[in-house]
Structure 1
Amino acid sequence: MIKRIHCTLAATALLLAASALGDTVTTSRYRIKVDGNRYIMRGICYHPVPKGQNKRSFETLAQDLELMQEAGINTIRVYAPIDDKGVLDKINAAGIKVIIGFGYNQGGLYDMLSGSFIDYVKKYKDHPAILMWELGNEYNYHPEWFEGDLDNWYEALNEAAKLIHQIDKNHPTSSAHGELPDQDVLSSCKNIDVWGINAYRWDHLKSGGDEGETIFEQWSALSSKPMYLSEAGADSYMSITSHGYKKGENQQAQADANKNILQTVFSNDKVCSGVTLFSFSDGWWKAGNPCVQDTGGSAPNSSGVPYDGAPNEEYWGIVDIDRNKKATFPVVKAAYSEAARKR
């Protein structure tokens, strides 16, 4: 009996040790797999900045996670590392995984320029909340950050991904690219395992209008690596009256656009590994006085934002800044619930 108890305790200890190491995330042809099972992202971009402030805060994390669980969200994409194990523990306990984003120049704080990003990888690579590591966000729109030559960026990107591979064998590397990378970029960045694409192509995700190819058809002609939409969606403010939607705050326009976008994403899951919809909450810090919700703001290459071709940067949430559900919330919930049932 004593021997049996000891064996049981030993087995339990091994299971706990294995779970503490987190999941093994692998990639193959068009596939991301978590512990061998296909993983489709039902995701959201998450950068919670409180009203009247301009820095990220997790003071509403418990409330936010409850709303995310209700919406069927399984993945959070963040633009800067979360250096707080307690926050990551809560995200993991909610059954949600995180894509950790690293910037190039963040003053030496876990960034690529200083090389300190790898310290974060070493520190958190065994945390079970981690899905993958993402290097850069739309940096291809900013050659001025790299001495006017984007080849400098792609070289740094590939080398950073190589370094991550040396440190962490259990999580893939990715990058959030503004629109599709071309073949030269893909060839120069062989250490990127998964390509995130920030795509604003109206509500059909096609090039050249309704008759064009979808982004997924175009990707399959370029590569067999996994891809996902690291940003997509619509805001809830119409700068003009257009397509039957009135000028001004218009949550129905956002809801209708997101419904069409998500339907397109999940109907192309043979190629696409899902989406991290932009974004969870309205961000009053982006376009003006952080104490009020301003219209305007700017984002590169975003003339494809439905249905006015204008990104009103403070109106992108599926909830508002006070965490009230917007008209798009039940749309996202329905799409994510259906996608989960298909799995």
Structure 2
Amino acid sequence: MKPVRPLLLALLLALVLIPAGAADAKTAIVRVDNQWQLQVDGKPYIARGVTFSGSSSSAAYEQDCAKLAALGVNTLRTWGVSTETKYLLDAAHKHGMKVMVGLWLRQGQPGAESDDSFDYTRDTAGMKKQLADTLTHVKFFKDHPAVLAWGIGNEVLLNSPNDAAKEAYARFLEKVVREVKKVDASHPVISVDAWMFGVPWWEKFTPSLDAYGINVYGGGVHVLPDTLQKAGVVKPWFITEFGAQGEWDAPKDANGVPREPTDAEKYDAIVDGWKNALAPHVQAGRCLGLFVFNYSASFDHTSLWLGMLSGTSTRPAWHAVREAYTGQKPAAPLPQVASVTISDVKREESGTWALVRVVMKDTAGAPPQVSFAYNFRGGATRHERDSVVRLEAKAGPTPDSWRVRMPNVKGAIKLYALAKDSSGHLAAATTSVALPPASQAATPSP
């Protein structure tokens, strides 16, 4: 879901030293008692993972890995390599963790991943360069003891414009996989795509993959295993991204804004997905592991919906990952924003103001700090569509109400009510309001 920053080869050459005294670890996917098994140095290994963007810079990677290890996480997944990859591998190894190292391949059309438009049907020189770059990365990192596997490409088939492009990419991917295996026979090679979009193309044109990586969200995780079996898939698979129901699947409210799951629904999706939907398939040797999306401290639309952190605050996914992988529940119920409603939207001399009522649930101790922000999915640029912007707010006429100044945009916005408690957990709930020209009244979502 994240594009990778370009690799500065000169810096990487200077950085890619293996930790002193470390021995590379061999990973394999083998058949044991007629079941697939992921092994590290001959011992069974189940990936209890998260996707990883980091809380800030590489200087924080060691602290990040220590925190994730305490949650029961044993594996990280990246989308590509950069000058910071070596630092992440070192930090992961220090804390007993492995990394599925992403090897980015360009997208065939603008989409969720990037605004790239690479032509796999014609750009021979571009494919040659991508293959060379990929092999360079593999050679540099293959002996690092934290490497678990290679994850080549992410949702390229989903973002391919037509069947000809999909076939061309899948054939190119087969060439990349074969060449990677010539360079490194000690780590499995997978490719990643969304839902079942990649499976038929991999099955037909990319037979050298050791396993499939599938990104799936929400209730789809309960349906996927049977769907794979009905499609005749015999190879093992990882869930390479997972979380609550995504925006692309969510029903829309009266203002056309996708309804975001509640914090409780986000929490339950992760715990249920691992313990109930996937557990039988892990036991049966079909599913080799899970990566919950995403360890990042960003404050934006995707991170608030699916992320484990928001700045230094924890979100529901943080606590859900810990329960899923260790069985440890929060010491006390996490506070939740039970409801947020908008009324009395008025144009004043200082701007457009709305009365917003926020009802909390499961709060203990000091009242949480409430604030507001908005997201405008109708923005002209990707940056605008993804940005979450703080809003000015004043105390309202009742203890659970605030007067919030609306942004100067025309159209439906998503309004966030955010509540941070004394333990550093950030609760959130959303609603929407359609902001009209100044002379008209706005329409809150029911």
**TM-score when scaled to structure 1?**
0.71
User: Could you report, residue by residue, the CA deviation over 1:108-147 in whole angstroms, capped at 9, with x for unpaired residues?
Assistant: 9999625211111111111000001111001111223x89
Amino acid at match of 1:189: T
- Distance of 1:336 and 1:118 partners within structure 2: 34
- Which residue in 1 is equivalent to 2:322? 333
How many Å separate the matches in 1 of 2:54 and 2:86? 17
Note the alpha carbon deviations across 1:13-52, whole angstroms, 9 max, x for none. Answer: xxx99973411111124321111122111000112374xx
**Other-structure match for 1:63:** 63
CA distance in 1, matches of 2:28, 2:244: 31
* Residue 79 of structure 1: aligned partner: 79
* Partner residue in 1 for 2:294: 279
Secondary structure of 1:116 counterpart: helix
AA at the equivalent of 1:217: D
* 1:278 to 1:119, Cα distance in 2 relative to 1, 3 A: same
Q: Residue 136 of structure 1 aligns to a residue in which SS?
A: strand
**Which protein shows a greater Rg?**
2
Equivalent AA in structure 2 for residue 71 of structure 1: L
1-side partners of 2:228 and 2:132: how far apart?
Answer: 31
Q: Are the structure 2 counterparts of residues 20 and 313 from structure 1 closer, same or farther at C-alpha, using a change threshold of 3 Å?
A: closer
C-alpha contact 1:204 1:261 (8 A) present in aligned 2: no
Superposition CA RMSD, Å: 3.5
Tell whether the 8 Å contact from 2:99 to 2:146 is kept in structure 1 after alignment: yes
1:267 matched residue in structure 2 = 280
CA distance in 2, matches of 1:117, 1:61: 24
Q: Structure 1 residues 85, 313: closer, same or farther in 2, change over 3 A?
A: closer
The one-character-per-residue Cα deviations of 1:145-183 (angstroms, maximum 9, x if unpaired) are x89521111011110010011011100110012112444
Is there any run of 5+ residues in structure 2 with no aligned partner, and where?
1-17, 108-115, 117-124, 254-258, 329-446
The SS at the match of 2:296 is coil
Note the C-alpha offset of 1:251.
2.1
Letter in 2 for 1:36: G
Q: CA 1:82/1:240 → structure 2, altered by over 3 Å: closer, same or farther? A: same
1:205-254 CA distance string (max 9 Å, x none):
24xxxxxxx3223334423322110111127999868xxxxx67842221
Asked if the contact 2:19/2:90 (under 8 Å) is kept, the reply is no
Unmatched 5+ stretches in structure 1: 1-15, 51-56, 207-213, 242-246, 285-292, 296-311
Tell me how far apart the structure 2 counterparts of residues 256 and 240 of structure 1 sit (CA, whole Å). Answer: 21
Aligned to 1:319: 309
Q: Name the structure 1 match of 2:264.
A: 252
Is 1:165 aligned with 2:186? Answer: no
Larger helix share, 1 or 2: 1
Q: TM-score, normalised by structure 2?
A: 0.56
Equivalenced residue count is: 280
Query: Residue in 2 aligned with 1:8?
Result: none
Distance 1:227 1:315, change over 3 A: same
Distance 2:322 2:149 in 1: 24
Partners of 1:219 and 1:135 in 2: how far apart?
Answer: 20
Offset at 1:314?
4.3
- 1:268 maps to a residue whose letter is H
Structure 1: how far apart are the matches of 2:169 and 2:127? 17
Higher relative contact order (CA 8 A, sep 6+): 1
More strand by share: 2
Partner residue of 1:105? 106
Matches within 5 A, 1:1-343: 20-29=22-31, 30-48=36-54, 50=56, 57-83=57-83, 84-105=85-106, 113=130, 115-144=132-161, 149-180=165-196, 181-200=198-217, 202-203=218-219, 205-206=221-222, 214-221=223-230, 222-234=232-244, 250-263=262-275, 264-269=277-282, 270=284, 271-284=286-299, 293=300, 295=301, 312=302, 314-322=304-312, 324-338=313-327
Distance 1:236 1:204 in 2: 10
